[in-house]
Chains A and B, each alone.
Chain A
Amino acid sequence: MEQPSRPSRRPLGSLVLIAAVLGGSAAAFAYTGGWLSPERLSRERVVASLGPPGGPAPGHRRNHTKGICFTGSFEANGAGAALSRAPMLAAGSYPVIGRFNLASSVLAQPDGAARVRGLSLSITGPDGSEWRTGMLSAPVFPVSGVDAFYALQMAVRSKEPGAMQAFAAAHPEIAGFGGWAGSAPWTGSYAEESYNALNAFIFTDAEGRGHAVRWSVRPEAVPVPVPKEQIAAKPPDFLGDEIKARLAARPVRWRMTVTEAGPGDPVADPSKAWPEGRRTLEVGTLTVQAIQEEADGPCRDINYDPTVLPPGMRPSADPFPAARSSAYALSYERRAAEAAAYPRTAPGGRP
């Protein structure tokens, strides 16, 4: 070495300094990782709050656990290009991998017991970009914020008398969802439901202008109200059986609409509907062509993360897409690690 070493004669101070630097760095890392603030609402806590009493079903999604896959297409009529330059809103036909599901974390949930039904889509554009969305049959979300969502899970699962009443008093926005759940007719088919992306997103058009929007799909089939008691008496998998039988006769379709927020509409709050009469464009038709059991179906290993968006779409001030993305990533990580507990049933059953 060119220069001789000149060791410190009093190294204690230096050693203390080194220990302080290393300790401080480790503490900053631990703080960032949330280990020093267990009261913070982590995704682990949110995902754990969803679990049914017996624990989650290994290898399955942590919520919307029971579902069935489908394949189909989205035929865009081109009208959506006025709002977004997303490639799958330009006129054309784009492949879809989707999933009908129940809004419940119970794998054995009887189809007739789930008040809210879900529809998830992955639409792939010609450039390979993807639009993933998870929609619900409810017209509004029960709560306006992520903390309230966690509190709702706690209240629903609480054994304390009056927990739900206390929750509703603290979160009056739940009245919108509650009103729908209590009065909207039940139907006997996934094909007779409307599904709503309750979260708002920002569409960017070809000129670079942003538009706050929510989208929905509305069924071509006419909804036939069925009394709740009749629905509850049906076999546990009747929705899956019904959609298979229906598809054997003909494809099942929905019209997709995109609604633009007006000035001052609550973009960040999915518990609030936007007023009637907002500019709504019909942007295309969703066609379901074939159903697959989830165990061997192409939807099985898809994480329907609502922040997987093509160019021309991005999240808005609505806090839920970020929270869902974070929680879904943990759900996916957990079920991936348990994949052996949910084997495929058909040899070579991979999509």
Chain B
Amino acid sequence: MTAARFSPVQRLLHWLMAACILAMLFIGVGMVSTISPRYLALVSIHKPLGIAILLLALLRLGLRLRRGAPPLPAGLPAAMKLAAHLSHVALYGLMIAMPLLGWAMLSAEGYPIVLWQGLRLPPILPQDIGAYALLRQAHGLLGYAFFAVILAHLGAALFHALVRRDGVFAAMAPVAGRAEE
């Protein structure tokens, strides 16, 4: 029988990554808007944090494939079930694609990918300004899409928690809610 909640490791990863990804999206949109010295500070966080998110996302995908997820409530309308499924596919896809796009984009620019002093990542593509143009555009547009999907995810989570009260939010809540006590 499948557990009613995600495992503690899955919940820990979820909330840790939520903080990382939200920080990442705000850093990303903030850094491309500024010309102040904050620019360099933001860029220097953006790169290592992106790689950290990639590693955590791969770990998390492995756990999800092995352990699965608690079933959605039987009474949930089919459309909401489909939306939940698709949004989770989108979230996993973006968590993995965004860091890879950033890495590939800097590779195609021929720009050194310095995570911090002395630690550089190797390029994953040869220098190619045409490829850079496409990757840069994809990285930016998917960043906005990522934020939109996260807002939808947040809205749905709150809807489950506050309106439907059907245990879906409790399955990922950091601590067990009253429903389980």
Chain A interface residues toward B at CB < 8 A:
1-3, 5-8, 11, 14-15, 17-18, 21-22, 25-26, 28-29, 32-34, 40-43, 46, 128-130, 146, 301-303, 305, 307-308, 311, 315, 319, 321-323, 325-327, 329, 332-333, 335-337, 339
Residues of B19-37 whose CB lies within 8 A of A: 25-26, 29-37
> Chain A residue with minimal CB distance to B179?
A3
Q: Is the CB of A333 within 8 A of B40?
A: no
Residues of A within 8 A of B155 (CB): 18, 21-22
Q: Contacts A18-B155, A323-B39 given: A301-B127 contact, CB under 8 Å? A: yes
Q: Contacts A18-B159, A326-B39, A339-B133 given: A29-B110 contact, CB under 8 Å? A: no
Residues of B within 8 A of A3 (CB): 4, 167, 170, 179-180
> Can you list 30 A-B pairs, Cβ within 8 angstroms, ordered by A?
A5-B164, A5-B166, A7-B165, A17-B158, A18-B162, A21-B154, A21-B158, A22-B151, A29-B25, A32-B26, A32-B29, A33-B30, A40-B33, A42-B34, A301-B109, A302-B110, A308-B111, A311-B117, A319-B36, A322-B35, A322-B36, A323-B35, A325-B40, A325-B43, A326-B39, A332-B109, A336-B130, A336-B133, A337-B137, A339-B133
Q: Is the CB of A5 within 8 A of B167?
A: yes
Q: Contacts A26-B151, A303-B111, A336-B133 given: A7-B40 contact, CB under 8 Å? A: no
Residues of B within 8 A of A305 (CB): 111
Check if B93 is an interface residue, CB within 8 A of chain A.
no
- Ranked nearest first, the 10 interchain pairs of A and B with the lowest CB-CB distance are A5-B166, A34-B33, A14-B162, A336-B133, A33-B29, A2-B4, A1-B73, A32-B30, A326-B39, A322-B37
The tally of CB-CB contacts under 8 A between chains A and B is 140
Residues of A within 8 A of B159 (CB): 14, 18
Q: Is the CB of A339 within 8 A of B40?
A: no
Q: Is the CB of B29 within 8 A of A29?
A: yes
CA distance A45 to B72 in the complex (A): 49
> Chain B residue with minimal CB distance to A5?
B166
Residues of A within 8 A of B129 (CB): 301, 335-336, 339
> Chain A residue with minimal CB distance to B140?
A333
CA distance A152 to B43 in the complex (A): 27
The binding surface of chain B is classed by DSSP as helix
Q: Is the CB of A322 within 8 A of B39?
A: yes
Residues of B67-91 whose CB lies within 8 A of A: 70-75
CA distance A25 to B26 in the complex (A): 10
Q: Is the CB of A323 within 8 A of B36?
A: yes
Q: Contacts A128-B120, A311-B117, A336-B133 given: A42-B39 contact, CB under 8 Å? A: no
Check if B136 is an interface residue, CB within 8 A of chain A.
yes
Least Cβ distance of B150 to chain A in Å? 8
Given A2-B167, A11-B163, A339-B133, output 19 extra A-B contacts at Cβ < 8 Å.
A3-B4, A3-B167, A5-B166, A8-B165, A14-B162, A32-B26, A32-B29, A43-B35, A146-B35, A301-B109, A301-B129, A303-B109, A322-B36, A323-B39, A325-B39, A325-B43, A329-B32, A333-B136, A336-B109
CA distance A17 to B165 in the complex (A): 15
> Chain A residue with minimal CB distance to B119?
A311
Residues of A within 8 A of B164 (CB): 5, 7-8
CA distance A151 to B165 in the complex (A): 57
Q: Is the CB of A17 within 8 A of B162?
A: yes
Chain B interface residues toward A at CB < 8 A:
4, 25-26, 29-40, 43, 70-75, 109-112, 117-118, 120, 127, 129-130, 132-133, 136-137, 147, 151, 154-155, 158-159, 162-167, 170, 179-180
Q: Is the CB of B118 within 8 A of A311?
A: yes
Least Cβ distance of B145 to chain A in Å? 13
Q: Is the CB of A1 within 8 A of B74?
A: yes
Least Cβ distance of A34 to chain B in Å? 4
Least Cβ distance of B3 to chain A in Å? 9
Least Cβ distance of B115 to chain A in Å? 12
CA distance A322 to B26 in the complex (A): 19
CA distance A105 to B168 in the complex (A): 58
Least Cβ distance of B176 to chain A in Å? 11
Least Cβ distance of B160 to chain A in Å? 9
Q: Is the CB of B4 within 8 A of A42?
A: no
Q: Which single member of A7, A129, A311, A323 contacts B163 (CB below 8 Å)? A: A7
Residues of A within 8 A of B34 (CB): 34, 42-43, 326
Q: Is the CB of B167 within 8 A of A336?
A: no
Q: Is the CB of B151 within 8 A of A42?
A: no
Q: Is the CB of B35 within 8 A of A42?
A: yes
Least Cβ distance of B73 to chain A in Å? 4
Q: Is the CB of B111 within 8 A of A1?
A: no
Least Cβ distance of B27 to chain A in Å? 9
Least Cβ distance of A201 to chain B in Å? 12
Residues of A within 8 A of B130 (CB): 336, 339
Q: Is the CB of B163 within 8 A of A301?
A: no
